[in-house]
């Protein structure tokens, strides 16, 4: 792969980077691997403040001192750039970095160097040395280079010392959703007789004949129940059921049940608690601690920070979970849901998310019914 594409200058010091740059600026006609074929780098390059062996962090300074742009590539299951210059200059050098190798490597021919990992064809390819896309002509490469410099001007920013830890913050999602719906539908295959001579024709039609759903309440089993419909109009029935469900659940969730009476034992546990039960961080002497309770049952949940308590809200969304929704069931219900109301036509929004063989459907109108009534929820 490296034959005739890379020059290895056999340097006797740790200045392999500088020797590779010199090999690009002053190409030798023969014995390209020998130091004696080139002028010494100290007579050509400005190396003020540069320490060898060269590191990636020093290249930017080297570029400014010598008005030379440098790209560095590595071989990691393929050829990848590990350092790209901010601005390509008239003097530009592509270098190959090989770990634990004291020899400097200059990429003499980027096209030949990268082509070998794509195909064995000998047709010349013109590579962009920034993104490594290739073209069959230099004219196309020039057009791409202008756009590539604008579109791909990005960099990886690593977290700082003050912001290097990830922590869970959606604490309210630790609570079970108050209501959830599990649904499924069944179809009968109607055989279609066709006299068509075409190579492809319809021979079965899927007719929905049954829909059933189970509404589950996480805190009161009396509010759970199963309903079904076996009829040719079962899809409109199902959508109507969801709309009615949204209205009925709204009245239940909107109720603000007061906290149950606190006993002396509860007060002792509250005052002696050292950690917030929501964020699980310790209380400080200046923290204002409050009693958190479930607004649906009145059950006391534990001591919390004041801010944690305000953000610890019950879900106001009813997930509708179908088996194989995106693969099958959605084909039959999506049209009915999309035209279920005038509001949907004005602002249709439906999100489908596949999860481990299942899919979650969040009917827009169920969420909209809550939002239209400006429900507020806080602890």
The pLDDT tens digits of the residues spanning 137-195 come to: 888 888 887 777 666 566 567 778 888 888 888 888 888 888 888 888 888 888 887 77
Give tens-digit pLDDT for 263-314: 888 898 888 889 998 888 899 888 888 998 888 888 888 899 988 888 888 8
The two three-digit tokens of residue 91, written as one number? 């003097």
Number of H helices, E strands in the chain: 10, 15
pLDDT of residue 79: 79
Phi, psi of 326 (to 5 degrees): -65, -25
pTM (two decimals): 0.51
Alpha-carbon distance 377 to 317, whole Å? 12
Question: Which are the contacts of 179, defined by CB distance < 8 A and separation ≥ 6?
Answer: 215, 216, 217, 218, 223, 249, 253, 318
Instruction: Provide the strand spans (E) within the chain.
Output: 6-9, 69-75, 79-83, 92-97, 104-107, 126-127, 134-135, 179-191, 204-217, 225-230, 289-293, 300-305, 320-323, 351-355, 358-362
pLDDT of residue 349: 30
pLDDT of residue 366: 43
- Ranges of residues in the chain whose predicted pLDDT is under 50: 1, 342-379
Alpha-carbon distance 117 to 235, whole Å? 54
Map tokens 């005739």 to a residue.
Answer: 4
């Amino acid at each position: 792969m490296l034959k005739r594409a890379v020059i290895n200058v056999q340097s006797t010091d740790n200045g392999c980077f500088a020797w590779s740059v010199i090999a690009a600026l002053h190409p030798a006609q023969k014995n390209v691997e020998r130091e004696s074929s080139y002028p010494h780098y100290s007579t050509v390059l400005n190396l003020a403040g540069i320490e060898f062996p060269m590191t990636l962090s020093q290249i930017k300074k080297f570029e400014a001192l010598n008005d030379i742009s440098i790209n560095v590539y590595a071989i990691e299951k393929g050829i990848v750039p590990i350092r790209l210059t901010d601005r390509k200059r008239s003097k530009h050098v592509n270098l190959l970095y090989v770990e634990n190798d004291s020899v400097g490597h200059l990429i003499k021919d980027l096209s030949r160097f990268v082509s070998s990992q794509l195909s064995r064809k000998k047709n010349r390819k013109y590579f962009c040395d920034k993104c490594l896309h290739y073209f069959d002509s230099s004219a196309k490469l020039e057009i791409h280079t202008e756009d590539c410099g604008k579109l791909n001007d990005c960099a990886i920013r690593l977290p700082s010392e003050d912001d290097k830890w990830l922590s869970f913050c959606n604490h309210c999602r630790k609570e079970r959703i108050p209501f959830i719906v599990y649904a499924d539908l069944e179809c009968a295959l109607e055989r279609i007789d066709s006299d068509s001579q075409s190579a492809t024709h319809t021979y079965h039609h899927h007719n929905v004949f049954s829909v059933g759903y189970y509404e589950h309440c996480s805190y009161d089993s009396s509010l759970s129940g199963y309903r079904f419909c076996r009829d040719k109009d079962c899809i409109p029935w199902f959508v109507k059921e969801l709309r009615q469900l949204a209205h009925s659940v709204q009245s239940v969730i909107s109720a603000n049940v007061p906290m149950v009476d606190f006993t002396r034992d509860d007060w002792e546990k509250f005052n002696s608690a050292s950690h917030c039960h929501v964020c699980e961080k310790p209380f400080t002497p200046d923290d204002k601690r409050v009693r958190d309770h479930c607004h649906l049952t009145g059950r006391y949940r534990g001591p919390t920070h004041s801010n944690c308590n305000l953000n610890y809200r019950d879900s106001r969304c009813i997930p509708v979970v179908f088996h194989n929704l995106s693969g099958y069931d959605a084909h039959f219900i999506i049209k009915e849901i999309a035209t279920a109301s005038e509001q949907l036509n004005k602002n249709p929004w439906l999100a489908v998310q596949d999860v481990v063989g299942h899919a979650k459907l969040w009917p827009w109108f169920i969420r909209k019914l809550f939002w239209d009534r400006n429900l507020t929820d806080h602890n």
